[in-house]
Structure 1
């Protein structure tokens, strides 16, 4: 990514710093160059300081003199100052340093958090504070990282040459905290100024500021590095959906302000919704109180009630002012579904409305409206004088269950409706639904009528005939003894069997084995494959015989395989045979603290182990109990002895 920009910047720096002839460049020339970016100047300066630090480490380890000697430090301090003033890079070193500087500075400007972690630690888990300080001097952009680290050192009273170790995860957390704290205090325009290093890298210095643009990929990486995912996703949509490749400062500012406005709207939306719900609830309460006063509803505690006739009269007056056919809403029109639970709910609600006690609490306006509708539906029974319109008849067909549904309850409903004469009478939708619901029996009664626990007479007769046939069959061949089995094998030319590996004999009441050709074949009798034996006997006897045979086989195998734990422990040689006198003294001294009782207890625990894994686990538990070193010489040699005991027994 950005290979073309990197190569062009490298060529421009080489032409700017290196002479046409084969020669190097001095540090002073780099620092005094008027058109060179300050970031590259600081990178060259920090490279010289890093080389002096490495030379200082080698000198302290190689020279036979005290490194902290005052005269020695003063002399080498003067030498280092002279090197800083007259440092020189040959052409090869200068080209290599330019390549490293361009790539490192570009990475740092686009994603500073990741670059700092990589550039400072270079894959190592820890670094001393003095090296971290020197590596931070390479980058001049975003100075709040370096200033924040210096403040962190001052809070802990650490000097620049301190050798205190700092883990990588702690440094990463510190960098993230410094970056977040700095960004949170920025305004929109100040955040846009934070992108100036990126604009300066991708644009020529002579380009006007209003016309400067950067690749949108660089901006996305910059936002991802700072965990600003909302704005980064906005620019990703612009890249992949709108095909935007480059963005200017004005475009970035407009997108950032748009995203911030959207976030503010999302934050204020729950508050507005709660205020709207509160106002709606208060309006509903006022409306219900007005309806109660207009209808003459008594206050709670009074023993008065409205009659059904008054409710009907009020409902009819309301319906007179409405057209004959009206599009009902979901809240007022009860829709009849094919589910029996919905039908029962509608019928129960209408019944409850008719049988409600008069001394209950005063209902709300919605409840009065629902009660008036249900009472009107109850009074409009089949046989009234009104004739249904065509639209009402069509609505019945749409609300009744489907004719193609394979449900027995639907057929019962249709028969009941036809028998009572739905067509000639004027019936509303809810009255038809209530009649269909009342006419059909409950689902449990239908299931009880369709299912019977009594067995069929034909089934009993067939079972008795099979039992009589099984009792009349006589065995053709008996295989209870080896002689009988060998005779059967000779008769059918079967391979000879061995008596030693024969399974245990099954002792049953009627264990009969015969070939298929000699068995009487009856209707409804189980057929078997050719060449297989058939055993006919009662089911209970067969089950018991198989259980007995299985138990016998398992018991015989367990007796042959099972080895008591006591026999296993007896086969192992004692542990003391693998412990020499020196090892015993070492274990008793180092692991048991010179205690003979603790040593005996340890040996006893290890002797009881039945495998090398168990023994090693016991040793680890002993070491953990007494907080001993598991890598000590005594523990290691004792582990070797345990392995030898179970391996060379």
Structure 2
């Protein structure tokens, strides 16, 4: 799919080096091409250097998980990259792969990030993930939010399955809470790539179907399909997408949600800063919300059969006086225990705790 755009992109890149025996990475990164293409050349160059320096930089003599070592290696590789030269054959090969990578990444970022970062491995350290994801200059919200998550809830190793769930969770939260303008900024890379590939300000509707389905946003994908099939629009402009987003996202409601969240934060933060000792909770004991059957189920499914961890979590939740902090604490439990937050047990557990703060909800 999109083979024509891929070939057009490749030929445009190659035209920049016409007549040259060799081309430097610095020259490539200074070209007027989409960021996703530059990202691939960067990744390609790092792989070339890593293979040639494998015995030294990736040997068992060094702790490959040491943060200072990773940063030093990154700085060293960046210095070497400035002088790296591609032969015509290497440049043509990299241009083809860059074109295919770019179309995949801008349309299927969740899928592509997983493939690029994990390759054929099942586990990566958080340091390795952050190092890899920092190579991508499009969709930078993934890196920013992942850094915050790992900083708040430290993890040693991340499985590929957990990483995929984390990407999906990030996308769901981002598209649930951003403004219309911010959504349009997020999808800019798609318009930029197709403008470069086909010199058109419109994008095939199929591209947006792939993009929104990669993120699990089926409601937006269905609207795109309606525009394509029922309204006869095989290609969509930014104005077309804006109309669809207004219809589906209802940005006014989103704006009100964000404002409400900001007001809640403004109320909570001063209380945390000015109270020298925590207030006694006037909320009911959370233990009253769990019958024996529910307790046994949550201990088994969420707390890995560790009853002490369950009761410790309930004790800590009993000391939390607002839903915002309670929700963050529940998220930390799911992350630490690698629990799918959308599993039946996780949803039921979250709902029961929620009712402590909002007793009118059933």
Do the two structures share a fold, i.e. TM-score over 0.5? yes
Q: Is 1:185 equivalent to 2:183 in the alignment? A: no
Deviations 1:72-96 (A, max 9, x none): x9x9999756523311121222122
For the 8 Å contact 1:42–1:137, the answer to whether it is kept is no
For the 8 Å contact 2:50–2:57, the answer to whether it is kept is no
Q: Is 1:86 equivalent to 2:78 in the alignment? A: no
CA distance in 1, matches of 2:245, 2:58: 55
Instruction: Specify whether residues 205 and 224 from structure 1 end up closer, same or farther in structure 2 by C-alpha distance, changes over 3 A only.
Output: closer
- Corresponding residue of 1:103: 100
Which SS does the other structure have where 2:82 is aligned? helix
Instruction: Specify whether residues 131 and 14 from structure 1 end up closer, same or farther in structure 2 by C-alpha distance, changes over 3 A only.
Output: farther
| Counterpart selection for 1:32 from 30, 33, 43 | 30
User: TM-score, normalized by length of structure 2?
Assistant: 0.59
- Corresponding residue of 1:146: 143
Q: Is 1:43 equivalent to 2:40 in the alignment? A: yes
| Counterpart selection for 1:136 from 133, 137, 156 | 133
Q: Is 1:223 equivalent to 2:220 in the alignment? A: no
Q: Which shows bigger deviation, 215-224 or 250-259?
A: 250-259
Which SS does the other structure have where 1:25 is aligned? strand
- Corresponding residue of 1:19: 18
Instruction: Specify whether residues 243 and 111 from structure 1 end up closer, same or farther in structure 2 by C-alpha distance, changes over 3 A only.
Output: same
Shift of 1:249: 1.6
Superposition map of 1:70-469 within 5 A? 80=77, 82-155=79-152, 164-204=156-196, 212-260=201-249
User: Unaligned regions of 5+ residues in structure 1, if any?
Assistant: 159-163, 265-649
Which SS does the other structure have where 2:136 is aligned? coil
For the 8 Å contact 1:10–1:98, the answer to whether it is kept is yes
Which SS does the other structure have where 1:127 is aligned? strand
Q: Provide the aligned length of Structure 1 versus Structure 2.
A: 246
Q: CA RMSD in A?
A: 3.4
Indicate the structure with greater helix content: 2
For the 8 Å contact 2:205–2:224, the answer to whether it is kept is yes
CA distance in 2, matches of 1:203, 1:117: 26
Q: Which shows bigger deviation, 175-184 or 3-12?
A: 175-184
User: Unaligned regions of 5+ residues in structure 2, if any?
Assistant: 64-68, 254-362
Instruction: Specify whether residues 79 and 199 from structure 1 end up closer, same or farther in structure 2 by C-alpha distance, changes over 3 A only.
Output: closer
Which SS does the other structure have where 1:203 is aligned? helix
Which has the higher Rg, Structure 1 or Structure 2?
1
Instruction: Specify whether residues 150 and 49 from structure 1 end up closer, same or farther in structure 2 by C-alpha distance, changes over 3 A only.
Output: farther
Instruction: Specify whether residues 111 and 76 from structure 1 end up closer, same or farther in structure 2 by C-alpha distance, changes over 3 A only.
Output: closer
